[in-house]
A and B are shown apart, each in its own frame.
Chain A
């Protein structure tokens, strides 16, 4: 009998929780004594089962777990695996020649029309690390940490448009309404810090990812499990800041008055929800302190900031502009992603269960220099490479990597063909690739993943997997498995079915070959 199974819809009232438990689970710090005194006058309280099951309380896993936290870095738009991870000398040889019909027949592409030209990598490759993996020159920092990771070259999906493909990776279905991976994990395991949200989302690149907030929505799970977006400008959590003129002391005073009156209401009506309300106001108060603290990068020493390339307080060009011109969003040295990587470490260090980073700007079709492989991809790598390597190094140095799973990837890959927009030949600033769902690269590190591994192989053009293909469902199953959540059994009753992240079929099995 596992605890999370106790959390079916509408179960608030089903759990009898003693007052003592309530104080522990709800974590009343404050005038708990004052409230206690108030409640002591109310002889009934101890007998009333309050609805105070703290849905975010930490819960043990179903099966032994390797990972307890995750940092998931999603590159929205999808980076080109051909130019970063997949060295393909045969592809280079045929670069510029017509794509074979066999690659095109029966396929739907987003933008490619007619017969495109094959397109080799635009960047040089070198062998890196003790394992000697081939990596593009665009990832000099990642080269230094590649031995800590498991690079999977054979991930495949069945979606080829951004919003549906992002939803598929993050929620297990290309349509809307399902719970996100972060919500599932938080539902399964709860949160280890009651002063912070269990599931935090950080955005960079100036835009919301294509599928919007549903990517971190709770779907059919109670909304308490939805991701909370923390922002680097304005309030770090919406409505976190007290209004002008109300300082901490006055807020505290006001909450004390509220608690006193709410406790009196509870004494009069006996409604256990009232006690939950009191506890949630106290938790909100503590979040007001805890969140800005954890979000404050200026507390980090200089050498750590440098490790990531983070710049506290820097507001990127992308945050300042409301223009839709993608070029202004891409250009310039934007530290937001690096800041987010460092924040991610700070958040998981403080017990946040799931930190999701979305970085926008990886959709390099070559329709303009602002969205091209040759001009934009190097900029995006500059913005992210050092930070990602810094994150892995930092996690390892702090002993956090062992239990922290780091995931890196887009929603699909990019074609080994040139996207024939207006040019049928590669032209400076217009070298682009279309969406490629059949094989692309992601990497995982830490949290029970075998380090120094390159998993799966694609054919000589990087078009299809030829060895160890990994489906999105298998990837999701692997992540759940690492958290000790059996992907086949981990479910939530909704619409008469036991809903699962991996969907109704049992195709999603953990990829055992990559487990440490």
Chain B
């Protein structure tokens, strides 16, 4: 079979991953039947009228069971009289469904499942994720298992079905490193790890969790997660890709996360801060969220075309980020699988189609983020310019050319010069101001009329539509207006079935490497089913009913035994749970791009903890920025700005910082729901050769030459072991550093024979040269430090 959807999904669904009907258990429509109908039938017999064949609609119970000339497609309880079954089992290649040229044949299991479902009465239902979120009952604890948290109850129950149980917790060093990397994106200090190892009690662990949640670096780390979704970047995109001041919004996100702004307010302020009564400045800053859309400054573009593209991007991003649904299809036609019609799309579009921004080159409307002093200075410069301009005008009117005397001419020239100077000063001042693009609603007399775009083409308008939220997911909450603010309230209303599931799943995925629903970007009919449906609903309900607190949700998860399990992979575990979908062990995954860099800077002692402000340009290879009609250049930062967290690295959309994209970071061009992890040779080259990692090795080479008390070490073996312990933050196994010791010895003898090479490496690594240390020895330490930073364990969160 060739549908592009791999076979393994079906075996996975039926087997290990999701709970599916066993032989005895009744078939459930949402879980068992709908996925088959969606994937195999709805393209021609689903919601989309234009693509519908034989006037048969199978997505609605009424039409699927309606009597037709040849009999009903589905006759409850009578599989043999149901036309559907007749057609899917037909031996005639001209009659069999799905037709051969669709390349979507049904498997024998799928056919027998449909038969059983009809025989059992063909009970209807909805797709699982569209059902209301109800907090499920906790399963009983498996015999002999002590259950710490509700999460563990669900996970242990599933494990018990497979004869498995939770693994013991990871050792304290590993656990604290895991927790710290997950919560703040940085490793713990060796001292903190040692202290925790001395008292790894539940109370001590909880204290660590609380402390990390309160650390300012928590907001920096989780802001990165959000900025991928918000398609944050420091440039405008497309051809010229000119710079754009967006960093105040990035800082808002960091602060909002640190302040644990509840999701409903986090949503409201970003989608519609400008529509809140008496909106505070920070609430206006938040609306820059939807000004992260690209704008095209290319010559000869139709601004309306790119304004429309930006509005559509806002629709797609909003629905995908909060509800995990793909709207893209409905731009051109009614969605074939999910209940979103062509009309629904443009009704939703109408809610976002009333803002002032219009792909203008100055990014208007903007919010001027000026201090009182700046405002005073600005007013002064502006009035100086205005009065000079008025003087010029007056002078020009007085001195008509025919009557102009030389003296009057000189005077006019002087006034003009004064005007030019004032103008230049004003412009210079304004160019130094922080002016953030924000959302602003059009005044009542300038509202746009929204029409359907036929086949997605804005030049081919169809019927007028009234603004409305997506009909299949309930109307606006009571009292909410049909505008962006109403959308925000609808997204986070207690009745929205998707928002809490999508968000709980997203946070889970960041902490476990994979979501309970693996396709974080798709909770629709064709998305992958949840591995632990009840657990997901419990988390979703707890998050929503507990006040939408991100910190509370994270704490709930990381405090569980499930999270704390050891992550070693044994053959038995692999046989029972190859992809760890049952959570039969702790998870292991390669760290995200920014964390890899931040961690290397942290353990080498170089990391700057400076927060916020304009983006910085750490060294990158020369000659990368070559956008057309754009003269801005990358200038390698000096001093502290070389070593800021990755969050602050300037992100140019058409040429993102290369070592981050090598580790799967995005470009900020569109909403990136998750980064698909890869393992490539280019990643090896980055950590081996990128100057930032070399400088980190240089600094680590210095740091590892003293012990924990700051006393200098001289024994090469002790130095190598100290470096390893500083990076991995755990006690070493016996002889573990031996390969490094041998490497150091070989490197030292090479450098002794080639002192120029030693000096070259020391200089390139900016390594501090301590008195009395021969350069061959120092260079060898740099090599050892570089090897440490390249260790798989260092790059992995385990």
Residue of A nearest to B302 (CB): A108
Known A-B contacts A175-B309, A234-B621, A239-B688; the reply to A207 vs B626 at CB < 8 A is yes
Bound together, the chains give a CA A244 to CA B759 distance in angstroms of 9
> Which residue of B299, B328, B676 contacts A223 across the interface (Cβ within 8 Å)?
B676
B 723-769 contacts with A by CB, 8 A: 733, 736, 739-740, 742-743, 746-747, 750-751, 756-765
CB within 8 Å of B: which A89-112 residues? 108-111
Contact of B678 among A111, A212, A224 (CB under 8 A): A224
The chain A residue with its CB closest to the CB of B790 is A258
Q: Is B590 an interface residue (CB 8 A)?
A: yes
Looking at B332, B626, B667, B793, the one whose CB has the most chain A CB atoms below 10 A away is B626
Among B237, B622, B676, point to the contact of A234 (Cβ < 8 A): B622
Which B residues from 505 to 553 make CB contacts under 8 A with A? 514, 518-519, 521-522, 524-527
**Pair B779/A245 contact, Cβ less than 8 Å:** yes
> Would you call A210 and B792 a contact (CB within 8 A)?
no
Interface string of B300-324 (1 = CB under 8 A from A): 1110000001000000000000000
A10-B676, A213-B667, A497-B329 known; A280-B296 Cβ under 8 A: no
Which residues from 246 to 295 on chain A have a C-beta closer than 8 Å to any C-beta of chain B? 246-247, 249-251, 253-254, 257-258, 260-262, 264-266, 268-274, 276-278, 280-281, 283-285, 287-288
A287 touches B681 (CB 8 A): yes
**In the complex, which range does the number of interface residues on chain A fall in?**
35 or more
Bound complex: CA of A348 vs CA of B567, how far in Å? Answer: 43
B689 (CB) vs chain A CBs: closest residue: A239
Flag whether B795 is at the interface (Cβ < 8 A): yes
Taking a contact as CB atoms under 8 Å apart, the answer to whether A110 and B654 are in contact is no
Contact stretch, chosen from B5-13, B82-90, B141-149, B158-166: B5-13
- B793 contact set on A, CB distance < 8 A: 262, 265
Contact B676 A240 (CB under 8 A): no
B630 interface hit (Cβ, 8 Å): yes
B670 within 8 A of A: yes
B300 touches A111 (CB 8 A): yes
B337, B569, B588, B631 — most chain A CB neighbours (10 Å): B569
**Cβ of B568 under 8 Å from chain A:** yes
Distance between B664 CB and nearest chain A CB, rounded to angstroms: 5
Is there contact, CB below 8 Å, between B103 and A489?
Answer: yes
Query: Taking each of A44, A47, A111, A284, which has the highest tally of chain B beta carbons within 10 Å of its own beta carbon?
Result: A284
User: Are A211 and B300 interface neighbours, CB within 8 A?
Assistant: no
In angstroms, how far is the closest chain A Cβ from the Cβ of B291? 17
A495-B626 CB under 8 A given contacts A212-B653, A250-B747, A280-B684: no
Convert A473-487 into 0s and 1s, putting 1 for each residue whose CB lies closer than 8 angstroms to a CB of B. 000000000000000
Task: Give the Cβ gap from A272 to chain B, nearest Cβ, in Å.
Answer: 7
- On whether the beta carbons of A496 and B525 are closer than 8 Å, the reply is yes
Interface contact A13-B579, CB-CB below 8 Å? yes
B649 at the A/B interface (Cβ < 8 Å)? no
Q: What's the least CB distance linking A125 to chain B, in Å?
A: 29
Contacts of A37 in B (CB 8 A): none
Separation in Å of the A428 CB from the closest CB of chain B? 22
**Contact between chains at A111 and B761 (CB < 8 Å):** no
A269 touches B569 (CB 8 A): yes
Q: Is the CB of A224 within 8 A of B527?
A: no
Contacts of B575 in A (CB 8 A): 47
Q: Please state if B8 and A14 are interface contacts (CB–CB under 8 Å).
A: yes
From A108, A164, A234, B623 is in contact (CB under 8 Å) with A234
A397 near B: Cβ within 8 Å? no
Most A Cβ at <10 Å: residue of B337, B677, B682: B682
Most B CB contacts (10 A, CB to CB) among A247, A257, A319 go to A257
Q: Which residue of A lies closest to B697 (CB)?
A: A243
Given contacts A250-B783, A495-B326, A496-B524, contact A239 B686 (CB under 8 A): yes
The answer to whether B234 has its CB under 8 Å from any CB of chain A is: no
Residues of B within 8 Å of A265, CB to CB, are 791-793
Q: Are B787 and A324 in contact (CB under 8 A)?
A: no
Does the CB pair A214–B676 fall under 8 Å?
no
State which of B8, B296, B751 has its C-beta within 8 Å of the C-beta of A11: B8
Residues of chain A within 8 A (CB-CB) of B685 are 237-240, 284, 287-288
Most chain B CB within a 10 A radius of its CB, from A224, A240, A250, A324: A250
B4 touches A489 (CB 8 A): yes
- Shortest A405–chain B CB gap in Å is 24
Asked if A208 lies at the interface with its beta carbon under 8 angstroms from chain B, I say yes
Q: Contact between B633 and A163 (Cβ–Cβ < 8 Å)?
A: no
A245 to B694, CA, bound (A): 12
Please tell me if A6 contacts chain B, counting CB pairs below 8 Å: yes
Residue of B nearest to A254 (CB): B787
B659 close to A (CB within 8 Å): yes
With contacts A10-B514, A162-B298, A495-B328 taken as known, whether A208 is within 8 angstroms of B579 at the C-beta atoms is no
Do the beta carbons of A14 and B578 come within 8 Å of each other?
yes
Measured between beta carbons, the chain A residues less than 8 angstroms from B746 are: 253
Cβ–Cβ contact B519 & A496, under 8 A: yes
User: Contact flags (1/0) for B560-590 with A, using CB distance below 8 Å?
Assistant: 0000000111110011001110000000111
A217: chain B residues within 8 A (beta carbon): 667
Which chain B residues in 639-696 approach chain A with CB under 8 Å?
A: 653-656, 658-659, 661-662, 664, 667, 669-670, 676-686, 688-691, 694
A274–B790 Cα distance when bound, in Å, is: 12
As a 0/1 sequence over residues 452 to 488 of chain A, the CB contacts with chain B under 8 angstroms (1 = contact) are: 0000000000000000000000000000000000000
Q: How far, in Å, is B677 (CB) from chain A's closest CB?
A: 8
Instruction: Decide yes or no: A8 and B9 within 8 Å by CB, A243-B694, A489-B103, A497-B329 being known contacts.
Output: yes
Q: How far, in whole Å, are A48 and B579 apart by their CA atoms in the complex?
A: 12
Contact at B570–A212, with CB atoms within 8 Å?
Answer: no
**Does B446 count as interface, using CB distance less than 8 angstroms?**
no
- Which chain B positions have C-beta within 8 A of A55? 678
- Inter-chain contacts of B1 with A (CB < 8 A): 1
Q: How far is the CA of A360 from the CA of B239 in the complex (A)?
A: 12
**Which chain B residues lie closer than 8 Å to A504 at the CB level?**
329, 332
Whether B627 pairs with A208 at a CB distance below 8 angstroms is yes
**Cβ-closest chain B residue relative to A47:** B571
- Say how far A360's CB is from chain B's closest CB, in angstroms: 7
Complex CA distance for A6 and B6, rounded to whole angstroms:
6
A212:B740 contact, CB within 8 angstroms: no
Q: A49: CB under 8 A from chain B?
A: yes
Q: Which residues of B contact A237 (CB under 8 A)?
A: 682, 685
CB distance from B798 to the nearest CB of A (A): 7
List of A residues within 8 angstroms of B521 by Cβ: 494-495
B269 within 8 A of A: no
Is residue B238 contacting chain A, with contact meaning CB distance below 8 A? Answer: yes
> Does A254 lie within 8 Å of B786, measured CB to CB?
yes
CB of A456, distance to nearest CB on chain B (Å): 25
List 10 additional A-B contacts (Cβ < 8 Å) besides A8-B6, A11-B6, A277-B795: A234-B623, A238-B662, A242-B689, A250-B747, A260-B739, A276-B679, A360-B628, A434-B300, A492-B4, A496-B326
A-B contact pairs, 19 of them (CB 8 A): A11-B8, A14-B8, A47-B571, A48-B569, A208-B654, A214-B667, A223-B662, A238-B686, A242-B688, A245-B751, A264-B736, A270-B570, A271-B798, A281-B688, A288-B685, A324-B629, A491-B4, A493-B4, A494-B521
Question: Could you tell me which A residues sit within 8 Å of B by CB distance?
Answer: 1-2, 5-14, 16, 44, 47-49, 51, 55, 62, 108-111, 160-164, 175-177, 197, 203, 206-208, 210-214, 217, 222-224, 228, 231, 233-235, 237-247, 249-251, 253-254, 257-258, 260-262, 264-266, 268-274, 276-278, 280-281, 283-285, 287-288, 319, 322-324, 360, 434-435, 489-498, 500, 504
Q: What residues make up the interface of B, taking CB atoms closer than 8 Å to A?
A: 1-9, 12, 103, 237-239, 241, 294, 296, 298-302, 309, 326, 328-329, 332, 337-338, 459, 514, 518-519, 521-522, 524-527, 567-571, 574-575, 578-580, 588-590, 621-623, 626-631, 633, 653-656, 658-659, 661-662, 664, 667, 669-670, 676-686, 688-691, 694, 733, 736, 739-740, 742-743, 746-747, 750-751, 756-765, 779, 783, 786-787, 790-793, 795-796, 798
Query: Lowest 5 CB-CB distances: which A-B pairs, in order?
Result: A212-B654, A110-B300, A245-B761, A496-B526, A491-B4
